[in-house]
Amino acid sequence: MLKTVNYQDLGSVDYKKAWEYQEKLFNKILAEKLALSTGTPDINASAGYLLFCEHPHVYTIGKSGAENNLLIDAGFLKKINATYYRINRGGDITYHGPGQIVGYPILSLDSFGLSIRKYIHNIEEAIIRTLDEYGIESSRIDSASGVWLDTSDPVKARKICAIGVRASRYVTMHGFAFNVNTDLNYFRYINPCGYTNKGVTSMKKELGSNQVIGEVKEKLKSNLSSVFQMQLIPNK
State in words which class domain 3-234 has.
alpha beta
Can you state the angle between helices 116-132 and 213-228, rounded to 10 degrees?
Answer: 140
Tens digits of per-residue pLDDT, 200-217?
Answer: 999 999 999 999 999 999
User: Is 122's pLDDT higher than 50?
Assistant: yes
104 beta partners: 51
**8 A C-beta contact, residue 69 and residue 190:** yes
What is the rounded CA–CA span in Å between residue 88 and residue 25?
15
- Judge whether residue 184 has pLDDT over 80: yes
pLDDT of residue 143: 78
Predicted local confidence at residue 98, as pLDDT: 97
Told to judge if 193 belongs to the known catalytic residues of this protein, a careful annotator would answer yes
Quick one: pLDDT at residue 43? 44
Domain ranges of the chain: 3-234
Tell me: the pLDDT tens digits for 123-179? Answer: 999 999 999 999 999 999 987 889 999 999 888 999 999 999 999 999 999 999 999
Distance CA 216, CA 219 (A): 5
**pLDDT one-digit tens code per residue, 14-34:** 999 999 999 999 999 999 888
Of 193, 200, 224, 230, the catalytic one is: 193
pLDDT number for residue 177: 96
Other beta carbons within 10 angstroms of residue 91's beta carbon come to 23
Which segment of 85-89, 171-175, 223-227 scores lowest on mean pLDDT?
85-89
Looking at residues 50-79, what average pLDDT do you find?
93
Q: What is the pLDDT of residue 90?
A: 80
